[in-house]
Chains A and B, each alone.
Chain A
Amino acid sequence: MSSTVKKIKKTSMLKKLKKITFEQPIWLFILLCVIGFSFSSEYFFDLNNFKNILVQTSTIGLIALGLTLVMINGNIDLSVGAIVALSACLAVDLQADFGMFPAIIIGLISGVVLGALNGLIVWKTGVDAFIVTLGAMIGIRGLVFVYTEEQSFFANDFAFSDMGSSSIAGIPTLALILVGFAILVHFILAYTIHGRNTYAVGGNRQASIDAGIRVGPNIVINFAICGFLAALAGVTLSSQMGAATPNLGRDFELWAITAVVLGGTKLTGGVGSIVGTFGGVIAIGILRNGMNLLQVPSFYVLVIMGVILITVLFFDRQVNMRLEKEVGR
């Protein structure tokens, strides 16, 4: 009798472990990376270094938070990189005319407005978010260039760049911002009606419409939040540099999408979590930081990142193939 009980206990523990690993394999991956890098480089396992990682990934991290909302919602947002540039340029350039904080506010508002615009177009025209935000990505970049006339500029008020490297109680401000907003967005997703609806709409839009959920506003709000977070990323990035350039943010959308997908969010919608995205962001950050410390030539970093992305995808697929019983897709 006791051996059967033991067996059952063993199986359920294994099951739990399997569950965590399979639903969010990214954490296992992170663990492996941390172990690996700690042994390969003496600079890795260090509090300062971990703080560095958080700061270095805060830009992509903030964008990935917003992107998670949009992707769980069944959409995607390719324009986040361009919004980063626009908000950064506005926040830096307008400081001379309006002062530091009003300029930052204007930068953030620009993100909200453009995000909401994207959401509105997706709602009302029915054009797929990929296309809408592809157009926005190109067009908003155009806005940035028109506004800046291809010039870059720095913030006259050096307090702005000091803000980027400041710390509160020993923890870098930017790390606090990242973690703070991660908790906030997680709360929205997991504990509010809006969050529940987001999953529903992403899982099955038509059923949600039929169920009486106000799908349109749901979509618009998520895009607006995504735009806000992208704008915030732009402001924090430009405060780290003390400057803004019109080409800022190029390719950011790719890395953010990578982080979100690595964290377990499905491109088809309806599935995902902030915890997973945070894992994806940290994974990318650790990889980059570790390879930097090991002085891996940057060209190889590109190849490695690409291969890892595909490998994690493969592993994820293997695991989920048993759960999916479809023929074909």
Chain B
Amino acid sequence: MVLTMTKLKNEHGLSKPNEENRLARAALNIFARQGILIVFVIFLIGFSLFSERFFSADNVIAVIRQASIIGVIALGVTIVVIGGNLDLSVGSLLSCCTVLVVDLHDILGPFQAVVIMFCAALVIGAINGYLIGYLKLNSLIVTLGMLSAIQGITLIYTGGQNVDIQNQSDTWFTFFGRDYLLGIPVPIFIFIGLGIITEIVLRTTSYGRKIFSVGGNPTAAIFSGIKKNKIVFSTYLISAFATACGALILGSRVMGSQNNVGQGYELLVLAGVILGGTSLIGGSGSAIRTIIGVLILSFIQNGLLLLSYPYYVQWLVTWAVIILAVWFDIASTRGRLFTSY
């Protein structure tokens, strides 16, 4: 594909071959491919100039820890998206799992609570996977319906009441959300650890390659013998598992939950995945880039807070950043800044 700048065309629409053109092309190339990273670095520099607390170790660690819940879930959703689908039910599932694990903690004990929570999550993941993978229903609508249904189930389970863990300091359950390992909060370990595992699976295993294939070119995938149904089904199991991990961290941090604690998470997760460069069409993506996308959003939020802007200003910035980031990414692939029609 020939990379052209729209304004460097002559009257006939042909590109002008000359020195400026080549330099400009090279610059656009580098910028576009690593565009998101460059914007991120500019943000970091900008914020640290305006707020001396921004780059302190405490702050950076706090931000990454705050990002870990969204990040863990985003890893699961990344896999679903690479497979060519969407999962909007993660927010409700997060609420459901958090409520479950907190409520059962006192009734059955922390270990049993965690096990049951994971089982429940996998059941829901299986339902999603069956409807979307085997029955081939549209993933946007199915997960939308599940979003509503899971919310309802959570409310039915608790009868609308909050759930709380008594004696919050006495249990090993605090490990996931509140404790430190080697001076670093445990959630960060979980987040980065799962991220690395996900990336390894995606890049090196045949399973990973099958997911890419199913998302990128489903017809070809089927003709080459890949069981598309199974693969899609499995991606939803993974997404549910990831959400359950997020609930583990969240439940451990708050030790007490309202029914709608996860509401809205699906958007933030999706925004992080998109910013990370994973295409919603499927067939491409990376766990590491999703981590970066989620961190970008968290650092923006944090930077604005440190500069004493109210939390909703970050939404305006997110609006601009998402569109600009994806725009530059697409522009680099097609070779022109604006569309040609």
Question: Chain A interface (Cβ within 8 Å of chain B)?
Answer: 121, 123-128, 130-132, 134-143, 145-146, 149-150, 209, 215-216, 254, 257-258, 261, 267, 297-310, 313-314, 317, 327-329
Decide if B200 is an interface residue (CB 8 Å cutoff).
no
Do B323 and A303 touch across chains, with their CB atoms under 8 A apart?
Answer: no
Do B316 and A267 touch across chains, with their CB atoms under 8 A apart?
Answer: no
Do B318 and A138 touch across chains, with their CB atoms under 8 A apart?
Answer: yes
Q: Which of A143, A300, A302 has the most CB of B within 10 A?
A: A302
Do A328 and B148 touch across chains, with their CB atoms under 8 A apart?
Answer: no
> Whole-angstrom distance between the alpha carbons of A258 and B318 in the complex?
26
Given A267-B138, A313-B142: A146 touches B152 (CB 8 Å cut-off): no
Mostly helix, strand, loop or mixed at chain B's interface? helix
Q: Say how far B162's CB is from chain A's closest CB, in angstroms.
A: 15
Chain B neighbourhood of A308, CB < 8 A: 145
Question: Chain B interface (Cβ within 8 Å of chain A)?
Answer: 131, 135-138, 140-142, 144-153, 155-156, 160, 218-219, 221-223, 228, 267, 270-271, 274, 280-281, 310, 312-316, 318-320, 322-323, 326-327, 330-331, 334, 338-339, 341
Q: Say how far B264's CB is from chain A's closest CB, in angstroms.
A: 8
Chain B neighbourhood of A307, CB < 8 A: 145, 149
Do B341 and A313 touch across chains, with their CB atoms under 8 A apart?
Answer: no
| Complex partner residue of A301 from B142, B145, B152, B314, CB under 8 angstroms | B152
| Complex partner residue of B218 from A143, A261, A302, A329, CB under 8 angstroms | A329
Do B141 and A121 touch across chains, with their CB atoms under 8 A apart?
Answer: no
> Whole-angstrom distance between the alpha carbons of A136 and B320 in the complex?
9
Do B218 and A310 touch across chains, with their CB atoms under 8 A apart?
Answer: no
Do B228 and A328 touch across chains, with their CB atoms under 8 A apart?
Answer: yes
> Whole-angstrom distance between the alpha carbons of A254 and B146 in the complex?
12
* 12 intermolecular pairs with C-beta atoms under 8 Å apart: A126-B327, A126-B330, A134-B267, A139-B320, A141-B315, A267-B138, A302-B148, A305-B148, A309-B144, A310-B131, A317-B135, A328-B222
Do B322 and A135 touch across chains, with their CB atoms under 8 A apart?
Answer: yes
Q: Say how far A32's CB is from chain B's closest CB, in angstroms.
A: 19
Do B319 and A124 touch across chains, with their CB atoms under 8 A apart?
Answer: no
Q: Say how far B144's CB is from chain A's closest CB, in angstroms.
A: 6
Known: A126-B339, A261-B138, A306-B152. 9 other contacts (CB 8 A): A127-B326, A131-B274, A142-B312, A142-B316, A306-B148, A314-B137, A328-B228, A329-B136, A329-B218
Do B315 and A299 touch across chains, with their CB atoms under 8 A apart?
Answer: no
Mostly helix, strand, loop or mixed at chain A's interface? helix
Q: Say how far A210's CB is from chain B's closest CB, in angstroms.
A: 10
Chain B neighbourhood of A141, CB < 8 A: 312, 315
Q: Say how far B189's CB is from chain A's closest CB, in angstroms.
A: 29
> Whole-angstrom distance between the alpha carbons of A257 and B86 in the complex?
15
| Complex partner residue of B141 from A135, A137, A140, A309, CB under 8 angstroms | A309
| Complex partner residue of A313 from B137, B147, B314, B318, CB under 8 angstroms | B137
Identity of the chain A residue whose Cβ is nearest the Cβ of B274 in the assembled complex: A131
Do B156 and A127 touch across chains, with their CB atoms under 8 A apart?
Answer: no
Do B322 and A123 touch across chains, with their CB atoms under 8 A apart?
Answer: no
Q: Say how far B263's CB is from chain A's closest CB, in angstroms.
A: 9
Given A145-B312, A261-B141: A209 touches B280 (CB 8 Å cut-off): no
Do A299 and B156 touch across chains, with their CB atoms under 8 A apart?
Answer: yes
Do A254 and B327 touch across chains, with their CB atoms under 8 A apart?
Answer: no
Chain A neighbourhood of B313, CB < 8 A: 142, 146
Do B318 and A124 touch across chains, with their CB atoms under 8 A apart?
Answer: no
Chain B neighbourhood of A305, CB < 8 A: 145, 148-149
Which 7 pairs, one residue from A and one from B, show the smallest C-beta to C-beta distance?
A139-B319, A302-B152, A306-B149, A142-B315, A303-B152, A145-B312, A306-B148
Q: Say how far B297's CB is from chain A's closest CB, in angstroms.
A: 10
Chain B neighbourhood of A126, CB < 8 A: 327, 330-331, 334, 338-339
Chain A neighbourhood of B274, CB < 8 A: 131, 134
Do B270 and A134 touch across chains, with their CB atoms under 8 A apart?
Answer: yes
Given A146-B313, A306-B149: A124 touches B339 (CB 8 Å cut-off): yes
Do A209 and B341 touch across chains, with their CB atoms under 8 A apart?
Answer: yes
Identity of the chain A residue whose Cβ is nearest the Cβ of B333 in the assembled complex: A126
Identity of the chain B residue whose Cβ is nearest the Cβ of A316 in the assembled complex: B137
